Amino acid sequence: MGLGAEQGLRQPLAIIFGFGFIALFASVGALGIAAAVFIASVLALPSFSRLKTLLPLELPFAIFLIFIAWAWASSSWSPYPKSDQAWKMALGLPVYCLFAYSVWSLRGKARLWALYAAFSGLMVLFFVYTLEAITGVISGLFAEGNAREQMLRDATRGVSALVCVTPVAWAFVAMLVPGWRGIAAGILLALLAGFVSWKLGLSAGVVAIGFGAILFGIGWLFPRTTILVVGLIAVGMLMLAPMGIPLVLGLLDTNELPATWDVRVQIWQIASERIAQKPLFGWGLDASRAFTDLYVARGVDVQFRAAHPHNIGLQIWLETGLVGVLLFSAAALALAVRVANSWNLTRSQGAAIAASAGVILIFGMVTYGAWQEWFWACTAWVAAMCFLVGPEPEKRAEL
């Protein structure tokens, strides 16, 4: 059976090309992941007859689209004048999801070649960042000063992408290298991801790898339950962010935290105060960019104006209010229930999904903004690879 015997050549070749394209952008700082996933999705777009099967939409996706519509509507009362973020969300996020759907729909040899392409891309990603962490050869190409600092800042996004896909890499090696050699290879990849995160100053990555490893092990034993628990944890962290974060901060000695975390504490405290001022509908999409609060890192003569609260729970509360949080949480919980109840969920797939979701949650809660396109595209990329470590979709779903 040839590569395109079941679905033609366009879609499989586009997906194979897409995995290489995405890995390339992730290797040079990750900001281009959104463009790479978008292009790959358009090239691999399923036929119209297949797209029609998405209507009526799966419940999680349908709720998520309602959330996007609400976020778009909130831009009408936002103090931030530009509306391009609403367009990026409305046009980009559904297309990113379609990339994952296109990968899920692959059959036969096309699916196998996509798996090899995805795994090869991950290995290139590990090689590039491990090489940089050990030798500094890439950052050494940039002159000392702002250019190198910007390059290293961009590199932390790429390292974040590397950490996000590490649980899927564990599932891949479990499939491709069974037995103790696969376990050893998985441990090596975890150590490499942790080392790269530490070496390039991404402390959240070190924490995420440890958390992901725990979830992967539990998820291997109890895949469905672990996915549900991670979903409930995510919903709890979203819903309780404005109340829980100030409570936790009150128990910490912030003077013992690194300077970068000290700035985060300041941002979280002020964001929580602003949420209390407009809790129901929020301040409007991208309102965080309009605030003029300045933050000073402890012991460092640098003033910083935050573009977002560095916590997706706080940002969704701050900009879309309780209405937005309820919609987003409902979509997340519906997705967790839908995935956990998949009839053909395997142990390795369940472990990869639970661990990947946990890692993404760590980054979302301490590092990145809720609307960053590259982070959403990275999530779609991870989801697409999670499909590949499971069985083919049931044949009776074909048209």
Q: 263: pLDDT confidence band, cut at 50, 70 and 90?
A: confident
pLDDT digit string (tens) for 156-166? 888 999 999 99
pLDDT band of residue 260 (cuts 50, 70, 90) is: low
Average pLDDT, the chain: 85
Other CB atoms within a 10 A radius of the CB of residue 181 amount to 11
User: Which residue carries 């590397």 as its tokens?
Assistant: 162
Q: Distance between alpha carbon 288 and the CA centroid of its chain, in Å?
A: 21
Alpha-carbon distance of 116 to 388, in angstroms, equals 10
Q: What angle do CA 393, 398, 399 make, to 5 degrees?
A: 160
Burial of residue 164 (CB within 10 Å: 0-12, 13-18, 19+) is: buried
| Residue 37 · residue 377 · CB < 8 Å | yes
Lowest mean pLDDT among 33-42, 244-253, 323-332: 244-253
Quick: pLDDT tens for 115-171: 999 999 999 999 999 998 898 776 665 656 565 666 666 678 889 999 999 999 999
Is 70 exceeded by the pLDDT of residue 333? Answer: yes
Q: What is the pLDDT of residues 162-201, one digit of tens each?
A: 999 999 999 999 988 888 888 999 999 999 999 999 988 8
* CA geometry: angle 154, 367, 42, nearest 5 deg: 60
Domain chopping of the chain, boundaries:
10-241+307-397
Taking the alpha carbons at both ends of the chain, their separation in whole angstroms is 19
User: What number is the average pLDDT over the span 361-375?
Assistant: 89
> Does the bond joining 391 to the residue before it have cis omega, within 30 degrees of 0?
no
What's the CA gap between 172 and 122, in Å, rounded?
A: 10
Please check whether residue 262 is in contact with residue 236, taking contact to mean a CB–CB distance below 8 angstroms: no
Which residue bears the tokens 């003569």? 301
Q: Given pLDDT bands bounded at 50, 70 and 90, which one contains residue 82?
A: confident
What is the C-alpha to C-alpha distance for residues 10 and 8, in angstroms, rounded to an integer? 6
DSSP 258-326: -HHHHHHHHHHHHHHHHHHHSTTT-S-TTGGGG----EE-TTS--EE--SS-S-HHHHHHHHHHHHHHH
CA angle, residues 167, 258, 127, in degrees to nearest 5: 35
Contact 139, 152 (CB under 8 A): yes
Question: What pLDDT score does 48 carry?
Answer: 67
CA distance 103 to 298: 47
Number of C-beta neighbours around residue 28 at 10 A? 14
Residue 60: pLDDT over 90:
no
Q: What is the crossing angle of helices 10-27 and 108-135, to 10°? A: 10
In the chain, the DSSP E strands lie at 295-296, 303-304
| Rounded average pLDDT over 321-330 | 96
Q: How many CA atoms lie within 13 A of 33 on its CB side?
A: 30
- The model scores a pTM over 0.75: yes
In whole angstroms, what is the distance from residue 66 CA to residue 68 CA? 5
Q: How far, in Å, CA of 250 to CA of 36, rounded? A: 42
How far apart (Å, rounded) are the C-alpha atoms in residues 171 and 148?
A: 35
Q: Give the pLDDT confidence score for residue 52 in this predicted structure.
A: 62
Q: What percent of the chain has pLDDT over 90?
A: 48
296, β-bridge pairs? 303
